[in-house]
Amino acid sequence: MSIKNLIMPHVASVISSSKLKRIKRHAHELRRRITGQTHTLDVFIKPDDPYSYLLVQVLDDLLNRFTVDIAIHTVMHLPEEAFPKREMWDMNALKDARWLAELYQLDFPANEPSAKDPTPFLHALLAAETEKQATGTVLTVFRHYWSDSKDPDSPPWKNLPDTTANQIRLQTNERLLEKLGHYYSAMIYYAGEWYRGLDRLDHLESRLITLNASREEKSQIRYNKTRNTLFSASTPRNGVKKSDNRFEEPNHSVKTPGKRVEAPELSPSTGNSLELFFSARSPYSYLGLEQAAHLARTFAVPLTIKPVLPMVMRGMAVPHAKKMYIFSDTKREAETLGIPYGKVADPLGAGVERCYALYEMAQQEGKELAYLLSYARGVNAEGIRSETESGMKIIVKRAGLNWESARPLLLKAGDPDAQWRTWAQKNLDELLELGIWGVPGFRYNDLSVWGQDRLCRIAEAIQANK
């Protein structure tokens, strides 16, 4: 094992620690006060992005409720490598945005909007950035773009020229997005941290309330409906008390990595089973696994787990900015859910192969959930190197599996014709047929969703079926 592999879990633990985050936030706030700056939200939007349309609809609400300024930055050219299976991404974004709009009572076309050239709308947004209160104009532009009509009432920007100033502004905005460390639109950057669309606004609200930047006498979090609908008792946004921690179990402590991981035996898959498409390397899959296990326990629903290869092992590129955002965002979400995360030992390559090489053995003993929980907790929260024999021994034994039986199977884990590669590819093909390109993916009856953020929809469907 290389020195890098040995130290990286400890480095990851430090850079994701709550203490370091508090220090960084304090430094940003101190700098703001010394320089006399306002709380400024840098908002990156794209005219043809459905999530951007939802985000601009709530900007005035943020201005009314918090003592903040908003700086609009319109972008258009985003890195293609950040969007594998782009057609699937775009289709899912439309469906998902329509659901979010209904949840928050926002405007969004009931059907796919008529195709429009985004260029004049882009120019209008760039021109609006110079306005003192740009949010109203920005929203008007977006409403025209996302109108169901092919030819809405002729807006004043219909024939707006493509000025040099606009081109310079666009390039400046896109360079700023890259410099600050992101790759996507519908993003808010505030004092060193990113907040994506409506799904992460509750984190921003909480932070501004903590900084006494709220205009309201009794400050409340508004943009947390995807959390509040997951379970009847939602996790408090201002921190997870130990008694409120839905995932706090005696076997979940990262202080005792050798302790037995208990999990309910999975019922045989039936018509009403919950399916989870899972990657051993994906941190969001780890959060999804913990929550899916909780759903299975709570509602006595059979859980079927279908592992797939990580994107990188399928030949797809993952930009550095995307990896870093996922790491920091997973830590933030894990803290909200009360799930340990941060001491990450990246299992890419041999670690993933060894994980999947033992999955069938765990299935045969009815311990696949215990095994994957043991593995996911090990590589995401405990710094266990799964490419090593000592690491896999801990993972296997605390899942209740026999190490002597498992050990020979690991010798062939990396073989090109290893049996697990066949079913992993079959699982991936099934996931793609659902119109989902990445993990975690979930299916319950005829409902399929992408991402652990949408488990609330699965939970509602399960409850409705009871």
Half-sphere exposure of 361 (CA within 13 A, CB side): 21
Burial 73-96 (b: 16+ CB within 10 A, else e): bbbbebeeebbbbeebbeebbeeb
The domains found in the chain, sorted by start residue, are 16-222 (3.40.30.10), 274-465 (3.40.30.10)
Considering only CA atoms, which of 285, 318, 263 is closest in space to residue 442?
285
Amino acid identity, position 92: N
The pLDDT assigned to 9 comes to 93
Half-sphere exposure of 237 (CA within 13 A, CB side): 22
SS3 231: coil
Asked if 274 contacts 302 with a C-beta cutoff of 8 angstroms, the reply is yes
Amino acid identity, position 189: Y
Asked if 40 contacts 73 with a C-beta cutoff of 8 angstroms, the reply is no
Report the 10 Å Cβ neighbour count for 103.
Answer: 14
Express the helix, strand and coil content of the chain in percent, nearest 5 each: 50, 10, 40
Dist. CA 36–CA 339, nearest whole Å: 38
Dist. CA 243–CA 196, nearest whole Å: 29
The pLDDT assigned to 156 comes to 56
Average pLDDT of adjacent 10-residue blocks, the chain of 466 residues: 84 96 97 97 97 98 97 96 90 96 96 82 93 93 84 57 84 97 97 98 97 93 81 37 39 52 59 91 97 92 96 88 96 95 97 98 96 98 97 97 97 95 97 96 96 94 87
Dist. CA 466–CA 460, nearest whole Å: 10
SS3 143: helix
Considering only CA atoms, which of 250, 295, 237, 246 is closest in space to residue 454?
295
The pLDDT assigned to 23 comes to 97
* DSSP symbol at 330: H
Q: Which residues pair with 331 in a beta bridge?
A: none
Considering only CA atoms, which of 96, 104, 184, 205 is closest in space to residue 454?
96
The pLDDT assigned to 251 comes to 42
Phi/psi region, residue 430 (left: phi>0; alpha: psi -120 to 50; beta: rest), is alpha
Dist. CA 146–CA 423, nearest whole Å: 42
Alpha-carbon separation of residue 40 from 36, 43, 189 (angstroms): 12, 9, 9
Burial 232-265 (b: 16+ CB within 10 A, else e): eebbebeebeeeeebbeeeebebeebeeebbbee
The pLDDT assigned to 133 comes to 87
The pLDDT assigned to 408 comes to 96
Asked if 259 contacts 251 with a C-beta cutoff of 8 angstroms, the reply is yes
Dist. CA 41–CA 191, nearest whole Å: 8
Dist. CA 160–CA 153, nearest whole Å: 15
The pTM of this model reads: 0.91
What residues contact 8, with CB distance under 8 A and at least 6 apart?
344, 345, 346
The pLDDT assigned to 266 comes to 54
Considering only CA atoms, which of 56, 64, 317 is closest in space to residue 185?
56
The pLDDT assigned to 229 comes to 53
